[in-house]
Chain A
Amino acid sequence: MATTLKPVDAVIVGFGWTGAIMAQQLADAGLEVLALERGPWRDTSTDFATGFAQDELRYMWRHHLFQNVSDDTLTVRNNTSQTALPMRHLGSFLLGTGVGSGGVHWNGQIWRFLPSDFLTKSHNEQRYGKQAVTDYDLTVQDWGVTYEELEPFYNQFDVLCGTSGKAGNLNGTIQPGGNPFEGARSAEYPTPPMPQTYGPTLFGKAATELGRHPFPHPTGNLSQPYVNNFGAQLGACTYCGFCEKFGCGNYSKASPQTTLLPYVMAKPNFTLRTETEVLKVELSPDRKHATGVTYVNSAGEEFFQPASIVILSSYILQNVRLLLLSGIGTPYDPQTGQGVVGKNYAYQTMSSVNVFFDDKLINPFIGAGALATVVDDFNGDNFDHSGLGFIGGAYIAGMITGGRPIEMIYTPQGTPAWGMAWKHAAAKNYLRSFSLSVHGSCMSHRGNYLDLDPTYRDIHGRPMLRMTFDFTDNEHKMSDYLTDRAAEIAKAMNPREIKLNRRVGSWSVVPYQTTHNTGGAIMGDSPASSVVNKYLQSWDVSNVFSMGAGAFPQNAGYNPTGTVAALAYYSAQAIVQQYLKNPGPLVQA
C-alpha cells in the first residue's frame, strides 16, 4: 500500500531542463515545490571532471549518462501492420536520466523556430493551397501560440544560458553577420559568437560565394565567461570536442547544473528527491482534477504525493505515457483519426554530406557541441516551395562537434567498413575531412503516433510506450532537395571528393539520429485537436501541465530545446500570474 505524504503545492515529475525551469519559477513565486527525479544527483565537479570527461567508450557507447533500458524501454515499428518490438538497446535517440538529464549531455545548439513554423497549417495553405498541407496524409496544425508571444521567453532562456551568437534581426532590422531569416529578436545575444575553426570557416566562404547567408550557430557553448541573473558563472568553451553525449567539466556548456541548480537548490521551499519514479498521476473521482502522483523509490516502496499542481516534465515519451497510463485525455486512434493523446508524433529528418580534402588539415578534434557555420536559406518557408512537392526545410551546417574516433571517422564513397582498405582510408582522411549536416523538419502524419504496447511491460508491470513511426514522402522529398543544396556548398569548397549520406528507406531504431522526438501531447486551440492549450495546460485535467517537445504539433527544421524552454517559461508565467489567482482552465474550451 502506498504511504501518503504531506501535500505540496506543486509536484514536478522529472528534473531536466523543463523541470529545473519550472522549479525555479514556481519556487520563486513562493510555492512549496517538490521535484521527483527517476535518476541520480549529478554535478559538474564530481561527475564530469575534465580529467576523464573525454571518454568516448563510457559515455557514448556504454551510455553512462543515459536511461538504462534494461528495465524500461519502448517498443517500435514503422507502421500498424507490424508488431512493435522493444528498443533493446539505445540507438536512434538517447534518452536522458538523472538531474539535468538531456540538458547535461546535449550539444547546446540553441534555436528559435521561425514565425511561420508556428503557423504550419494556415501559412502554408495560404501560400501554396490547401493540398500542400494535406498531401501524403499530413496532419499538421497551427500551434495556438505565435512567435511574437514566445519571443520574450526565448530571450529569457538566452539570458539564462548566456547564449553566444549574433542577431540577424533586431526588432525588425536586419543585422549583418546574423541570420537574416530569423524572427525579430528584442535583444542581441548575451555573448558574442564562438570563433570558428577551419572547417566551418571554409563552409561559410563557399556558401557566401553561392549567394547564401551564412552565420555562426547560436550556442550554449560559451564564447567567453558569463555570469547569469542567478549568479551562476559559466566559463569559455575550450573546444574539447566531447560535448554532445558528454557532460562539460569546464562549466562552459549551459545546463541546469551550470545555470540554475546552485540557485534553485538553495531555496527553502524547494525539495528534490532522486531515484524516485512516478508511476501515475492520480485523479479525483470525476477525473477532472489531479490529486497528486504515485511514485516508487528504488527500494520498491510506493508513495502517494498529494499536490495542488502536477507538472509533467519527464521528456515527451514519458509524458505521453504518463498521460495514457493515468487516463488523462482520449487516446488517438489512427484508424478514425479521433482522440488526441499520442497524436502527431514526429521526429527530425537528417542527412549529411562528408567532404574530403587532400591539402587542408581540418583537425576535427578541435570541436564543440554547437560549433558550426550555418545556412538557413532553405529552412521552413524561407524559400519558395512552389512545384517542389513538399513543405518544410532544414538548416545546413558546416559543423564540427568533435573528432571522437569510434564515432566520427569519415571514409570516402566505396570504402569497406573494415579490413586494410578501411584502416588506410581512416588514417588518410581523419584529419582532412568533416561533415555538413542537414537538419530537417518532420511533418506530422496520420499514421505516426504513440500509444501503449499490448504485450511488453516494464519492471513495475506497466505497459511500455509503443512508437509507430516512419518518414513520409514529404520528408524524403524535402531531405533530397536539401541534401542537394548542401552538396552544392560542399563542392564549392573544392575538396578532393564528397560523399552524400541521403535519408533513405524507413526509419530505423539502430543508428543514432537525433534525440529530437516531438508530439504526442500536442498544443493547440481546441480540445478536439490538442492535448494541452497554449499554456501547456491539459484540457481535461486543468491542474496538470505537460512540458517539453511533446507539445510540438509537428517538428521544425531546428533543435528543439530553445522552443521547449520558451514554452516552459510561457507556461510558468501563466500559472503564476493567472492560474494561482483563479485555478481552473486558462483557456475556455
Chain B
Amino acid sequence: MDKPVPGRRHFLISTAVAAGAGVAGSLGAKVHDGELGAPPRTYKGGVPWTEGLADQPPGISGTDFKFFTPAERVFIEAAVSRLIPNDEVGPGAVEANVPFFLDRQLAGPFGRGDHYYLGGPWPKGAPEQGYQSRFSPAQMYRAAIAAIDKYAHANFNGADFAKLSDDDRDKLLKGMESGSIQLEDGVDAKTFFAMLLQNTKEGYFSDPIYGGNKDMAAWKMIGFPGAHYDYREWVTRHGEPVPFPPVGFKGRPGWNGES
C-alpha cells in the first residue's frame, strides 16, 4: 500500500484537461446521451462548467415529410385516426399532427434504433422477453405497413387498409393487438401494434417541439399544464382548479402580445 499522497501541485481549472489517455477533450463540444462515442475526458481540480453550454432539446424544423412515402402516409393517417379519433372532446391523432411527429421520429435516431440492441441471433422468444425483432423501428414500420396492406388485400376484397371502413380498420387493429392476425415478411403483428400505439400516444402528448400535440390541444383536453416547474403555491390548495393554460418549451401563443 502506498502512503497517503500529499496534495499534488494542482491548478484550479474550470474546464476539462487532457491527461493519461493523451487525448485532448475538445472543450465546449456537446456531449450527448451518455453514450461511448464522445471524446474521453479527464476532469480534475473543479467542476468543468462552461458558459452557455446547455443541452437543449433537439426539436425539429420544417414541415415536410422525410420518412413516409405518400402511400405510407395515407396508411398512417388511416391507422392513427382510429387509435385516437377526433370529436368535440378533443383532437384526434391526425388533428394533433401525430403523423408528422411519427415521420420525424422515424427519420431520426429513434427510427434508426439508436437505443435498441439489434444484434443476432433473433429467435422468437417468450412475450416476457420483449422486443426480439431484427428490425429497427423505421424498418419495422416500413415492413409492417406493407404487410398490413397485403393482409387487407387478401382478406377485405382487395382494398388497401386506408380504404376500409372504420369498423373494418378497427377489426384489423384489434386482431393485431390481440395477436390473432398473422402478418407476413417477418412482421410480428402484436409487436408492431404495441409500437404504433405507444408512438401515437407519444406524438399526441409530448411537447409540441417534436411536431405533434398541435396547439397543445391534447394537454388542454386532459388539463395538463405542460412544462411548468413551480407549483409550490398550489401544494396545499387541495382540490382547487389550477388555472394555468398549458405552456411548452417554446412558451405559448400570446406571450409576445400576438395570439
**Any B CB within 8 A of the CB of A332:** no
Closest to A580 in B: B1
Interface centre among A39, A50, A277, A426 (most CB of B within 10 A): A426
* In the complex, per-residue mask of B84-120: 1 if CB is within 8 Å of any chain A CB, else 0: 1101011000000000000000000110011111110
Restricting to A264-323, which residues have a CB under 8 Å from any CB of B? 265-266, 268-277, 297-299, 301, 303, 308
CB distance from A121 to the nearest CB of B (A): 30
Separation of A43 and B48 alpha carbons in the complex (Å): 9
Which residues of A sit under 8 angstroms from B131, Cβ to Cβ?
88-89, 510
A423, B218: Cα distance in complex, Å: 10
Using A40-B31, A47-B55, A298-B38 as known contacts, say yes or no to A265 and B130 having CB atoms under 8 A apart. Answer: no
CB within 8 Å of B: which of A230-245? 236, 238-242
User: A275-B38, A277-B36, A510-B130 given as contacts; is B224 within 8 A of A405 (CB)?
Assistant: yes
Residues on B with C-beta less than 8 A from A195 are 235-236
Tell me whether A508 is interfacial, beta carbon within 8 Å. yes
| The stretch of A76-84, A184-192, A531-539 that contacts the partner chain | A76-84
Complex contact A298–B43 (CB within 8 A):
no
Query: Are A455 and B121 interface neighbours, CB within 8 A?
Result: yes
Q: Given the known A-B contacts A301-B21, A363-B234, A424-B89, are A57 and B229 also in contact in the complex, defined by CB atoms under 8 Å?
A: no
Nearest residue (CB) in A for B11 is A268
In the assembly, what is the distance between CA of A261 and CA of B31, in Å?
19
A70 and B116: CB pair below 8 A? yes
Which residues in A have their C-beta under 8 angstroms from that of B109?
Answer: 62
B154 interface residue per 8 A CB criterion? no
Pairwise interchain contact A419-B82, C-beta atoms closer than 8 A: yes
Which residues of A have CB within 8 Å of B23?
Answer: 297, 299, 301
**A240-B229, A275-B41, A277-B36 known; A69+B117 contact, CB < 8 A:** yes
Q: Which residues of chain B are within 8 angstroms of A30 by Cβ–Cβ distance?
A: 4-6
* Chain A residue at minimal CB-CB distance from B52: A46
A70 touches B115 (CB 8 A): yes
> Which of A32, A67, A83, A270 meets B34, CB within 8 Å?
A67
Q: Number of residue pairs across A and B with beta carbons under 8 Å? A: 312
| Interface stretch (choices B68-76, B145-153, B181-189, B239-247) | B239-247
Say whether A197 contacts B235, CB under 8 Å.
yes
Find chain B residues with CB under 8 A from A67 CB.
34
A195 to B234, CA, bound (A): 11
Which residues in window 17-46 of B have CB below 8 A to A? 19-21, 23, 31-46
Answer yes or no: A210 CB below 8 A from chain B CBs.
Answer: no
User: Are B115 and A69 neighbours in the complex by a CB distance under 8 Å?
Assistant: yes
Are B21 and A70 closer than 8 Å at their CB atoms? no
Give the distance to chain B from A6, nearest Cβ to Cβ, in Å: 8
Contact with B7, one of A83, A269, A277 (Cβ below 8 angstroms): A269
Chain A: interface secondary structure?
loop
Hey, which chain A residues are within 8 Å of B228, CB to CB? 54, 240, 365
Complex: A298 Cα to B26 Cα, angstroms: 14
The reply to whether B82 and A41 form a contact with Cβ atoms under 8 Å apart is: no
Chain A residues with CB under 8 Å of B21's CB are 273, 276, 297, 299, 301, 303
Q: What is the bound-complex CA distance between A76 and B127, given in angstroms? A: 12
Select from chain A the residue with minimum beta-carbon distance to B133: A88
A interface, how many residues as a size bin? 35 or more
Quick one: closest A residue to B9, CB to CB? A268
Whether B240 contacts A361 by the Cβ 8 Å rule is yes
Q: Is A360 interfacial (CB 8 A cutoff)?
A: yes
CB-contact partner of A298 in B40, B226, B249, under 8 A: B40
B61 close to A (CB within 8 Å): no
Separation of A259 and B127 alpha carbons in the complex (Å):
42
- Contact for A276 among B40, B44, B53, CB less than 8 A: B40
A46 and B50 contact, CB distance less than 8 A: yes
Which residues of B lie under 8 Å from residue A583 when comparing CB positions? Answer: 1
Residue of B5, B40, B128 near A297 (CB, 8 A) is B40
Say if the beta carbon of B129 comes within 8 Å of chain A. yes
In the bound assembly, the distance between CA atoms of A84 and B70 in angstroms comes to 40
Binds B, one of A90-98, A211-219, A346-354: A90-98
Q: Residues of A contacting B230 with CB < 8 Å?
A: 238-240
Among A51, A52, A89, A431, max chain B CB count under 10 A is at: A52
Given contacts A70-B113, A98-B34, A54 and B222 within 8 Å (CB-CB): no
- Residues facing A in B163-212 (CB within 8 A) are 170, 173, 177, 197-198, 200-202, 205-207, 210
User: Are B83 and A271 neighbours in the complex by a CB distance under 8 Å?
Assistant: no
Check if A53 sits within 8 Å of B229, measured CB to CB.
yes
| Interface of chain A residues 22 through 65 with chain B (CB within 8 A) | 29-32, 38-43, 45-47, 49-58, 61-65
A-B residue pairs in contact (CB < 8 Å), sample of 20: A30-B6, A39-B34, A56-B206, A57-B206, A70-B114, A76-B128, A78-B128, A87-B130, A89-B131, A196-B235, A197-B236, A265-B44, A265-B45, A268-B45, A272-B44, A275-B38, A360-B239, A361-B241, A419-B83, A420-B85
A40-B32, A308-B2 are known; give 16 further A-B pairs, CB within 8 A. A5-B20, A49-B56, A51-B227, A54-B228, A73-B117, A76-B128, A88-B118, A240-B229, A271-B19, A272-B43, A303-B20, A360-B239, A418-B83, A423-B221, A455-B121, A583-B1
Nearest 9 pairs between A and B by C-beta?
Answer: A30-B4, A297-B40, A39-B34, A57-B206, A430-B222, A198-B238, A98-B34, A238-B230, A40-B31
